[in-house]
Amino acid sequence: MSKRAWCSDIHRRLTRHGVPSHRIERLLLELNEHWEELQEAGLGRGLTQGEAEAEADKLLGEPEQLAAAAINGFRQSSWIGRHPILTMCVLPFLLPPIVMGMVALPVNWVYELSHFVPAGKPGGLLNAQSLCGLLWVLNYSAMAGSALWLCWRGWKAGLGFHWVLAIWSWCTLSGMMRVFSADPIRRVVAMGFGFPWHEDSHTPVILLVHGLVAAWMFWIVRKARHFLGPVNKPPPERIA
């Protein structure tokens, strides 16, 4: 395989796993320099140009192996890449409640200090309904934001499409198993987990939220697979 061909092959494989373009260019530059060093060493031993290039290709390795080693090294550079199973199984359960709590508790304290109207007084029901509505919106926003962040970080950590799909699926299941309720009449807010989950009026909303996340990730992956650069992308120039 020519140098131009294996550069294009490695570039394509790394792009499909979400490796940033600047990391790909740097890796290709290093491989190109190493290939030229191997070729020059072969020429120095009296090999012909073709023999030296063939020997450099053999010593450097196959593009599949080089890309796999680069992807594995890139995964090791991030916590999510090093612990994909833990990311998939634990974070979808814990991250949305944590995010919601970090936002909801300060908002609730400020609301109680400034605008809360005790039950039985005029305006109390309206304020309670407003607060519960805000909590419902915050619940779905934390759910969508957590799923987006986990899928995006998994993709940028080089886990690839299948791992991202697994993370998204587990985010959907964990969203079905989380229990949230905000009752403006009784003024009760409850959060927890339940299995098996019970279908109610909020189930379609949960599925819609994660469906939008899936559509967004599908667009990202499709874009990455479509805009891979020219097929015969030349190797990067060596920097003097």
pLDDT at 4: 62
Predicted confidence (pLDDT) per residue in 38-87, tens digit:
888 888 888 888 888 888 878 887 888 888 888 888 888 788 888 888 87
Residue 197, phi then psi, degrees to nearest 5 = -75, 155
Predicted confidence (pLDDT) per residue in 82-109, tens digit:
888 887 788 888 888 888 777 766 666 6
Burial class for 193, CB neighbours closer than 10 Å (0-12, 13-18, 19+): exposed
DSSP-based helix, strand, coil % in the chain, nearest 5: 70, 5, 25
Of 179, 153, 173, 188, which is closest to residue 89 (Cα–Cα)? 173
Burial class for 91, CB neighbours closer than 10 Å (0-12, 13-18, 19+): buried
In the chain, what percentage of residues exceed pLDDT 90?
0
What six digits make up the tokens of 201?
Answer: 């009026």
Concatenating the DSSP letter of every residue in 121-175 gives STTHHHHHHHHHHHHHHHHHHHHHHHHHHHHHHHHHTT--HHHHHHHHHHHHHHH
Q: What is the pTM of this model?
A: 0.63
Give me the residue spans of the domains in the chain.
3-77, 80-225
Q: Which residues contact 122 (CB under 8 A, 6 or more apart)?
A: none
